[in-house]
Structures are given as C-alpha cells and as structure tokens.
Amino acid sequence: MEVKGLLKKLESLKYQGLYQKDFFLTWDKTQDEIKAVFEVADVLRYLRENNRSCRIFDSGLGISIFRDNSTRTRFSFVSACNMLGLAVQDLDEGKSQIAHGETVKETANMISFMADVLGIRDDMYIGKGHTYMADMASYLQEGYDDGVLEQRPTIVNLQCDIDHPTQSMSDALHIIHEFGGVENLKGKKIAMTWAYSPTYGKPLSVPQGIVGLLTRFGMDVVLAHPEGYEIMDDVIDVAKNNADQYGGKFTISNSMDDAFRDADIVYPKSWAPFKAMEVRTDLYAKGDRAGIDALEQKLLKQNAEHTDWACTEERMKLTRDGKALYMHCLPADITGLSCEMGEVDESVFDRYRVQLYKEASYKPYIIAAMMFLMKVKHPVEKLEELWNSNKPRWADN
C-alpha cells in the first residue's frame, strides 16, 4: 500500500481553508495549502498511473470560459474534469453579454445550476481578468446563499491579468521533482528572465506567477528584463515579502547574463511591459483602433532593440556547470525554427524537450488537485478509498 506513505505528508498539512473556496492567486493561499495541492497532484497521478479511477463525481459539470484562445490549458482543464468525473461545457461568450455587471451576475447564475467548477481564462486586459473572476465568485456565493444554486461552484483561475496559478504550480511541481523534493529548493537560483520575441503583447501572468510563487521556497529568485519591461508593482511586493518571510532572495536585474550566472534554473520568456498593457487596455476600452495599432508598432520596435536577450548556447554556459534546468510554459519562439530570432536556440530547446513536456504534464494534475481540495471535505480518506476500491480507470484485462 504505497499510497499510505504518499498520504503521510498530506496528513500533516492544514489545507481546510481551500474547501469550498476559489483558487485565484497563489499568494492568497497558505504555505500548507500550496503544499497540499502538490501532494494531492502527486497522489492523483500515482492513482491514475496505477489504473485507479479518480472519479469523485458520478455526474456534474465543469464550465470553461476562455476569453482568450487556448489549446494547452483547455485540454488540461478538460482532462482534470474528466478524471474527476465532470463533463465540460464551454461558455462561448459574446463580448456584448458582459457589458455591465448585472449581466455577469445573471450569467453566473444561469450557467451554474448544475455546475461544480468554473475554469476561467481572462488574461487580456489589465485590471479586468482577476476582477471578473472575483465578481463571478461573489455572484456565485450570493446565488448559493439565496438558494438559487444548490451547490457553490468553485472557480479555478486558468490565467488572469495578475497570476497564472495552474502554470506556476505545475512549473513548481516540475522543479520539485527535478530537484528531489521541495526541501532541496532552498538556496537554488532561478532566473526568470525576459527574452526577445518577434511577436507582441505576451501576458505578464507567467513571470508574475513565477516570482510570486517560487520566492516561497527559500530560493534565490532573480527577475531580469530590459529597462521598460517592468511587471506589476503589487507582485514585486509579494515576491519581496515572500523572500523575507521564507528566507530566500528576490532581486531584479537588467542583465540577462547576471541572471544566468550560476543559475540552477532559467526561465527565459517574452512578455509585454505592464505599463504598456495598461495603456492598451484603455485604448481597447475606448475602441481606439488607430491607437492600438500605433502602440503595437511602438512595442514591436522596442522589442527589436533587445534581440540579444535570448537563451543561447553561449549564455547557457554561464549557468551552474553550464547545465541549468531550462523551463518554458510553451509554445516557445525558437530561433531558426519558429522565427528568425526568438527566445531560445534550437539546440538548447531540443536538449530539454522531454523535460519541457514533462513540465507541461503536471498541469492537468495541478488543476485536478485544486478541484479535489476545493470539493472534498476529507481528502486523505477519499484518496485512500479511491486506492482501496481498486476500481480500474481502464479495463485493460
């Protein structure tokens, strides 16, 4: 019964604060709650790999709301829902439907009569995505309190303007496994650095999510970017406070070389300047098409001044023993493959391909673990029961 051993760590954690709540930002959660998500993700994976059914729902719906295109996150959410027994229904929302708060309230209730989970991606506009999810949650709570909804659907943030918790948690779980345990992260240096991309306006939620989460494990977190590519101030504060509280370091640098030097992990990735994204949000709000186009040209030009911000073989040599773990949320802009000049050399990317795919493979489990802890009152007992029931996921006999 190896599962007993796997559950020991979970048993020692206080995670009841997750029950019946939403998952918006990792820094809203306690250290134990974050660790519980990792533990449950690992146990669910173990159960599935040993062909145990992980269904906790006989029927029920997971609603997906993607206010931006998505393939990877969509498939991860669908996989997580399916594993737990939920069918997925997509809300293909017309922009007009969300013109005013009242309609969001109405939609929240109308789609949720039999919904157990809502997975929402809304990362396009600064100041909007997180607010939309928080509003949705308060309307759902109100609907539940008023007796309109029989159950309180919980929300999983599948990427907002501030954080991308299912990504950063998957990335963290990947690192934990690569380094042999969360306790081994102490003192390890990770370089979350900007990298050049010929495209424009990539979301800030990935770098923000990474520095907001990895500073909790005593790591030496360096955020590096050219001047003008600053991320959100609030998240900088989160990262600083985390470093103080958990005995790590958080520094900001304008040199990619400095960030790479002796790094154990590098995460080079393009993003758009926070302030420019604020401007863009206002332009969209005003419907100023010409302004949007002008901004895009300006930002592409600005990007083009920093084509030397790339994860090259040369630069990889600066890292610890030249062998830092290379990470990316995918898809990456690969120099000479997907574009002329991009975020990473093809040979670097290729060397880490299997690890990159494994990094991505944690996401369905992280989402499922969040849902599990938000929906199941006694997770340890339930996981043990799933193991002991011996119900196969796949009748391969």
CB 111 within 8 A of CB 54: no
393 near its own copies, judged by CB under 8 A: yes
Count of positions on this chain that bind its own copies (CB under 8 A): 71
334 near its own copies, judged by CB under 8 A: yes
Least Å distance between CB 131 and its own copies? 19
Match 């997971």 to its residue by tokens. 62
144 near its own copies, judged by CB under 8 A: no
Least Å distance between CB 55 and its own copies? 6
Question: Helix, strand, or coil here: 264?
Answer: coil
Q: Which two tokens stand for residue 365?
A: 């489990």
Which one, of 328, 320, 384, 375, lies nearest residue 351 by Cα?
Answer: 328
Residues within window 69-108 making contact with its own copies, judged by CB under 8 A: 71-72, 74-76, 78-79, 82-83, 85, 87-89, 91, 97, 99-100, 102-103, 106-107
173 near its own copies, judged by CB under 8 A: no
304 near its own copies, judged by CB under 8 A: no
Among 43, 60, 119, 280, binds its own copies (CB under 8 A): 60
Q: Which two tokens stand for residue 224?
A: 């590096």
Beta pairing, strands 220-224 & 249-253: parallel
88 or 300: CB nearest its own copies: 88
Least Å distance between CB 232 and its own copies? 28
272 near its own copies, judged by CB under 8 A: no
Least Å distance between CB 38 and its own copies? 17
Residues within window 337-356 making contact with its own copies, judged by CB under 8 A: 337-338, 354
Which one, of 256, 243, 185, lies nearest residue 35 by Cα?
Answer: 185
143 near its own copies, judged by CB under 8 A: yes
* Residue 211 CB neighbours (<10 A): 26
Sequence-ordered list of residues with C-beta below 8 angstroms from that of 118, at least 6 positions apart, any chain: 62, 63, 64, 65, 112, 136, 140, 153, 154, 155, 156
Least Å distance between CB 383 and its own copies? 11
Least Å distance between CB 266 and its own copies? 20
User: In whole angstroms, what is the distance from residue 212 CA to residue 105 CA?
Assistant: 30
DSSP 8-state secondary structure symbol assigned to residue 324: P
Among 9, 55, 249, 351, binds its own copies (CB under 8 A): 55
Q: Is the peptide bond before 331 cis (omega within 30 degrees of 0)?
A: yes
Among 36, 40, 54, 195, binds its own copies (CB under 8 A): 54
The one segment of 130-138, 273-281, 297-305, 386-394 that binds its own copies by CB under 8 A: 386-394
Sequence-ordered list of residues with C-beta below 8 angstroms from that of 283, at least 6 positions apart, any chain: 291, 292, 295
